[in-house]
């Protein structure tokens, strides 16, 4: 399976944020999307998630050589600021999600099994989500994406404000989830991208560019990425 971006462009008034992007992502890999602040990472994600309408271009999924349009079931989106309905408890949110999506959930398990998997403690499962910590809300967003098993999982700065233990748990979880799907993780923390991602893609000047690792060791690869990001300043 491949996720194919063709000729995507998006401008805000006169500012061109995405310029005729062409890129293909492959299943089974975690992609690290790097870019300076304001480079357009969130704009790209919002376009993929249909929150913003691109000015031109298309997003397609390619399966067995056949391309088809994306639909909402194909996409999972975890935002940097976790968004959950705060008037529900963790368990109620899970029940609601499963009720609505029962036709597409392949192997529905007991809610507690998911909570166990995400290390959400039994005493927290029946608390209102408004009383959850940032990390726990993030985990709830991840749970629903694990249950729904979307073909494309977008993560916008997912680990930035998590404590070290939760961040490590989430990294392991993402590694375990990458088979058979495409995970794109936007971040500006280089160490995280190098540690977790199989491929690094830069979003600079409104276009996506892969950074080839070639035969470089990790230090040289890191220097190459930083140099590529710095180049933006001199354009």
Partner 1 sequence: MFETFRQSFSLRCTANANMFLFALKKIPIIKKLIPETAYSEPALKIFAKIVILLFEIGKFVLGKLAYLGIMVALPVVPVATQHEVPKSTVFLHILLFLTLIGGIVNINLFKGDERSYQAINLLQMDARRFTLSNFIYYLLCTALSFLPFMLLFGILSDVPVWLCLLLPLAIVGTKLVFAALNIFSYNRIGIVADDAKATWVLLPVWIILLLAAYIPPITGRIVPPTVSAGILLAMIPLGALSVLPVIRFRKYKEVNQSILSHTRQQMDTNKNRIKVTMQKQITADVTQTSSRSGFEFLNELFVKRHRKLLWGATLKVSAVLAVLLAILISVIRFVPPSRAVINDMLLTRTSVLWIVLYAINRSAGFTQACFMNCDNAMLTYPFFKKPGSILKLFRIRLRELIKINALPAGIIGAGMTLMLAMTGGTEQPVNYLVLLLAPIAINMFFSVHFLMLYYLFQPYTAGSVMKGGMYSILATGTYMFCYFMMRATLPTFGFGLVCIVFCAAYFLIACALVYKFAPKTFKIHN
Binding site for partner 1 (CB under 8 A): 13-14, 46, 49-52, 72-73, 75-77, 79, 83-89, 92, 95-97, 99-101, 126-128, 130-131, 144, 148, 150
What is the C-alpha to C-alpha distance for residues 63 and 175, in angstroms, rounded to an integer? 22
Q: Tokens 């985990």, residue?
A: 139
99/214 with CB nearer partner 1: 99
Q: Tokens 């409104």, residue?
A: 206
156/169 with CB nearer partner 1: 156
Nearest distance in Å: CB 74, partner 1 = 8
Distant-in-sequence, close-in-space partners of 10: CB < 8 Å, separation ≥ 6? 16, 17, 18, 40, 43, 44, 47, 52, 54, 55
Nearest distance in Å: CB 160, partner 1 = 17
Nearest distance in Å: CB 172, partner 1 = 24
Nearest distance in Å: CB 127, partner 1 = 7
CB-based contact 200:210 (threshold 8 Å): yes
Nearest distance in Å: CB 197, partner 1 = 23
73/168 with CB nearer partner 1: 73
Residues 78, 130, 105, 161, CA torsion sign? positive
82/200 with CB nearer partner 1: 82
Tell me which H or E stretch contains 203: strand 199-204
101/204 with CB nearer partner 1: 101
């Amino acid at each position: 399976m491949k996720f194919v971006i063709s000729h995507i462009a998006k401008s805000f008034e006169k500012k061109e944020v995405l310029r005729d992007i062409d890129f293909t992502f492959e299943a089974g890999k975690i992609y690290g999307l790097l870019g300076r602040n304001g480079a357009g990472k969130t704009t790209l994600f919002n376009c993929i998630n249909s929150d913003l309408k691109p000015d031109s271009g298309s997003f397609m999924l390619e399966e067995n050589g056949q391309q088809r349009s994306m639909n909402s079931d194909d996409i999972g989106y975890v935002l940097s600021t976790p968004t959950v309905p705060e008037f529900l408890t963790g368990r109620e949110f899970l029940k609601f999600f499963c009720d609505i999506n029962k036709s597409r959930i392949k192997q529905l398990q007991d809610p507690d099994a998911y909570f166990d998997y995400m290390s959400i403690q039994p005493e927290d499962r029946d608390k209102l989500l408004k009383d959850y910590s940032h990390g726990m809300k993030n985990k709830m967003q991840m749970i629903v994406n694990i249950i729904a098993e979307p073909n494309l999982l977008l993560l916008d700065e997912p680990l930035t404000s998590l404590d070290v233990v939760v961040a490590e748990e989430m990294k392991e979880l993402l590694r375990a989830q990458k088979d058979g799907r495409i995970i794109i993780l936007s971040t500006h923390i280089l160490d995280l991208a190098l540690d977790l991602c199989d491929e690094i893609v830069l979003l600079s000047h409104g276009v996506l560019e892969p950074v080839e690792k070639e035969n470089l060791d990790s230090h040289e690869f890191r220097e190459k990425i930083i140099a590529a990001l710095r180049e933006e300043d001199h354009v």
